[in-house]
């Protein structure tokens, strides 16, 4: 998809703030600092539309981006940041549950993981959470430029095995540095629109 429009519509903290339109949505989830903002910015050809990770202390929000008036990307706050208070963790959980359990416009979630490492327990929990709500998941294994070509299939296999991914979900190796995997990511996203 050639992106000609990419605008932040709203940073929502609760359901009543979600855009009241029927445009399909693709959510983006991932561990803090995994490269989620870089993924979003790369696939929409913007330098810094999606802000880099929400650090503790900042309000955690669901950021709705209008892409070409065709879909919304919904950037959800990163997880797995160690220095988050119990209260912040609870409000994160409540916000996630409220969105993922009820949002009819949500067609699929791109779950960003680091191709170099075995998915963390938090990654596994996030994947299981999404599957619990029967949400299709596109796993984006980012930072592809950081591993040797000869190691890619081994790393992809490990991601699949650790997450115990369902046959209907796919893993797409991706790099925000080189834009490798960008076409494949768009193809996967568009298959849900």
What is the closest distance, in whole angstroms, from the C-beta atom of residue 168 to ligand GDP in the complex?
25
The closest of 98, 106, 182 to 137, measured between CA atoms, is 106
For β-strands 71-75 and 62-67, DSSP reports them as antiparallel
If one asks whether residue 78 binds ligand GDP (CB under 6 A), the answer comes out as yes
Q: Which two tokens stand for residue 121?
A: 């327990």
Cα separations in angstroms, 92 against 1, 51, 70, 169, 174: 31, 18, 28, 25, 27
Among 175, 181, 185, 188, binds ligand GDP (CB under 6 A): 175
The rounded radius of gyration (Å) of the Cα atoms in the chain is: 16
What is the closest distance, in whole angstroms, from the C-beta atom of residue 114 to ligand GDP in the complex?
9
| Touching ligand GDP, residues 16-35 (CB under 6 A) | 30, 32-35
**Total number of residues binding ligand GDP (CB under 6 A)?**
18
If one asks whether residue 77 binds ligand GDP (CB under 6 A), the answer comes out as no
If one asks whether residue 60 binds ligand GDP (CB under 6 A), the answer comes out as no
Q: How far apart are CA 178 and CA 186, in angstroms?
A: 15
If one asks whether residue 170 binds ligand GDP (CB under 6 A), the answer comes out as no
If one asks whether residue 36 binds ligand GDP (CB under 6 A), the answer comes out as yes
Q: What angle do CA 100, 103, 104 make, to 5 degrees?
A: 130
If one asks whether residue 109 binds ligand GDP (CB under 6 A), the answer comes out as no
| Touching ligand GDP, residues 133-162 (CB under 6 A) | 142-143, 145-146
If one asks whether residue 176 binds ligand GDP (CB under 6 A), the answer comes out as yes
Name the segment binding ligand GDP (CB under 6 A); options: 11-19, 102-110, 160-168, 169-177. Answer: 169-177
What is the closest distance, in whole angstroms, from the C-beta atom of residue 123 to ligand GDP in the complex?
12
| Minimal CB distance residue for ligand GDP | 53
DSSP 35: S
Q: Which residues bind ligand GDP (CB under 6 A)?
A: 30, 32-38, 52-53, 78, 142-143, 145-146, 175-177
């Amino acid at each position: 998809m050639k992106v000609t429009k990419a605008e932040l519509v709203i940073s929502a903290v609760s359901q009543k703030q979600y855009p009241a339109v029927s445009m399909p949505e693709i959510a983006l989830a991932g561990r803090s600092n995994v490269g989620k903002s870089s993924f979003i910015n790369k696939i929409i050809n913007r330098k810094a539309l999606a802000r880099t990770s929400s650090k503790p202390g900042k309000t955690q929000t669901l950021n709705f981006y209008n892409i070409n008036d065709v879909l919304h990307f919904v950037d959800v706050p990163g997880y797995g940041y160690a220095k988050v208070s119990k209260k912040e963790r609870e409000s994160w959980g409540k916000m996630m549950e409220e969105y993922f359990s009820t949002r009819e416009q949500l067609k699929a979630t791109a779950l960003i993981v680091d191709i170099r490492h075995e998915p963390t327990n938090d990654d596994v929990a996030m994947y299981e959470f999404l599957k619990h709500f029967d949400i299709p998941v596109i796993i984006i294994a980012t930072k592809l430029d950081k591993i040797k070509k000869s190691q890619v299939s081994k790393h992809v296999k490990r991601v699949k095995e650790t997450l115990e991914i369902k046959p209907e979900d796919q893993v797409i190796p991706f790099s925000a540095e080189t834009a490798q995997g960008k076409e494949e990511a768009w193809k996967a996203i568009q298959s849900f629109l």
